[in-house]
Amino acid sequence: MSSNIFQDIKNDFPIFSNQINGKDFVYLDSAATTQKPNDVIDSVIHYYKTCNSNIHRGIYSISIEATELYENARSNIGKFINAKSPHEIVFTRNATESVNLVANTWASQNLKEGDSIILTEMEHHSNLVPWQILAKKLNLKLNFIEIQPDGELILDKLDNLFQENAKFLSLTHVSNVLGTINPIKDIISKAHEHGITTLVDAAQSVPHMPVDVQDLDSDFFVFSGHKMLGPSGIGVLHAKKTLLENMEPFLYGGDMISNVSLREAQWNDVPWKFEAGTPNIAGAIGLGKAVDYLNHIGMDAIHKHEQELYNYAIDRFSELKDFKIFGLENKHSTGGVISFSYSDFHPHDIATILDGESIAVRAGHHCAQPLMEKLGVPATTRASFYVYNDTSDIDKLFNGLQKVRSVLT
């Protein structure tokens, strides 16, 4: 593999010490959520055991410690994506909430009837449905960048979409179905030339490759902690500070205010004016520790490792009869995702048989039904790789798929 650091990495993840159905566990569904290393689990336990308290308002020792851990996590995450300031990092529940925050604040305040929003045909429902709702509410138009059969975006008509009164563009960095890595830096640059504000759904990129929001020049940038070894229920919205300062809050209540009277209130500074109520303190601390873990490995090394796994899997799967991979095979760069069909076997049947072999894959539409329609299938089976996977996992998947054929034919 790409580095010796990956050889024993499973030892850092307690879930892999368990056997399922009497066999070693093979987890190939990291595009849905990732397993958690001991470092992350221990950081959450440490918080609850030693300094469980509310943040920002307590003047006693453990509250001060909890506040420092929470805000240090914010700084850590900001550095991880090269944000200009930790004040550009807003904690949310997940990428879905981050998109909804932008839709219900900046977009609701700045878009008007007749404006258009540009999306792509490969979006996760989380980066589609909020814009559908907003379009109906404000009488906006939704336009879509189409995809080629190999899973790449068709960009030669992008200028035409810009001319249709486009004011906002929201797209995924990496497809959760196809693994396609979109050229978002070029797309953002072209959008800005036309005065268009941008949002990047980075839920499938931040965990898997180096990301620099200043270099990308994205306006809004969203991702989830649970997809990058962190706890569930914690996500991130990164936005340029000037945008955050001019946006109204999304939720109202404690901690997001600076002053309250009986008839009016003033808001806290950014980012806290977007973090109403008691936040997921343990989740933020755990995500900060997940970032430490990923930094120790190195994001370049992680991306290289996943590319090697992808190429190895492509070679192995070429030996299977009636096996189809959706999207471009032998990508020079991929998000470590393979969606496939196998003969006329239903994806749910494939996943069920593989589960009997203690292999976890995803079967379904992957929260991307319009993309499934574009591909001409109701569902696919998906295998996705991460730091704790190796070639032996792919070999077990290959053997499991051979068993699928023997059972279903």
CB atoms inside a 10 Å sphere around CB 274: 23
- The packing angle between helices 299-317 and 281-297, to 10°, is 80
Q: Is 367 a catalytic residue?
A: yes
Q: Are 21 and 214 in contact (CB under 8 A)?
A: no
Active-site residue (options: 367, 370, 374, 398) = 367
Report the C-alpha gap between 7 and 327 in whole angstroms: 29
Sign (positive or negative) of CA dihedral 11, 336, 170, 245? positive
Contacts from 224-227 at CB under 8 Å and sequence distance 24+? Answer: 224/94, 224/95, 224/96, 225/94, 225/283, 225/286, 225/287, 225/290, 226/33, 226/34, 226/94, 227/30, 227/31, 227/33, 227/34, 227/203
Sign (positive or negative) of CA dihedral 326, 332, 335, 336? positive
| Cα 219–Cα 101–Cα 201 angle in degrees, nearest 5 | 50
Report the C-alpha gap between 204 and 331 in whole angstroms: 16
In 305-356, DSSP assigns E strands to 323-326, 337-342
- Which of the residues are catalytic? 367
